Amino acid sequence: MPAQPASPAPADDEPGPRRRMAREIGASVVEIVLAARRKTSEYAVRLHPELSAASVSILQRIAKREQVQASQLAAVLDMDKSAVSRQLALLRRIGFVTAEHDPGDRRVRTLKVTPLAEQRMAEIRHQMGDEYYERFHDWSDDELAEFLRLLHRYSAAAHAQTVGSDAAGVAGGTGGAPGAAPTPR
């Protein structure tokens, strides 16, 4: 079905159907974010009983990059440097992360995920993937494909809005939950 042109926004005191749908989508996205946070906490405990959602965020970010430094993690994850440092100490203590001196600058330490962490993360991703598969068991392939297409489109728009807001000096984008619709004024 071709995309419908955007209708003009009604005055704030006239919530039209499009605005109501946008608000409902925003509320649903908030619910998805909250569910994802709960899943991340569950994922953390499955990885290791001492881990938190913050630890998992750090571990996943390190795993996505070949080389990363603690200061980069704090900036990318919008976390306090001391909080990142505490989480890294825990990840190193349980054998999930190593810190090696950078050959180009011995003052810099590069973080890497250990094979143990990679193995545990792969096992749990597989288990959680099975859970998602079950969640969509009664969806047709066409429904899944359309949902995935729209989800990618929404994610790209949310990312662009957040990146644009961050570039303008507004940390956190909309000021609400990630991906939440802005609150009308």
Q: What is the pLDDT of residues 18-42, one digit of tens each?
A: 999 999 999 999 999 999 889 889 9
Beta pairing partners, 138: none
- Tens digit of each residue's pLDDT (9 = 90 or more) over 34-81: 998 898 899 899 999 999 999 999 999 999 987 788 888 988 888 999
Reported as a single tens digit per residue, the pLDDT across 111-150 is: 999 999 999 999 998 988 888 889 999 999 999 999 999 9
Contact 166, 76 (CB under 8 A): no
Going from the N-terminus, what domains does the chain have, and what CATH number goes with each?
19-114 (1.10.10.10)
Which of 56, 29, 31, 34 minimizes the C-alpha distance to 158?
29
The two tokens of residue 160 are: 């662009």
Single-letter code of the amino acid located at 120: R
Q: Which two tokens stand for residue 57?
A: 């965020």
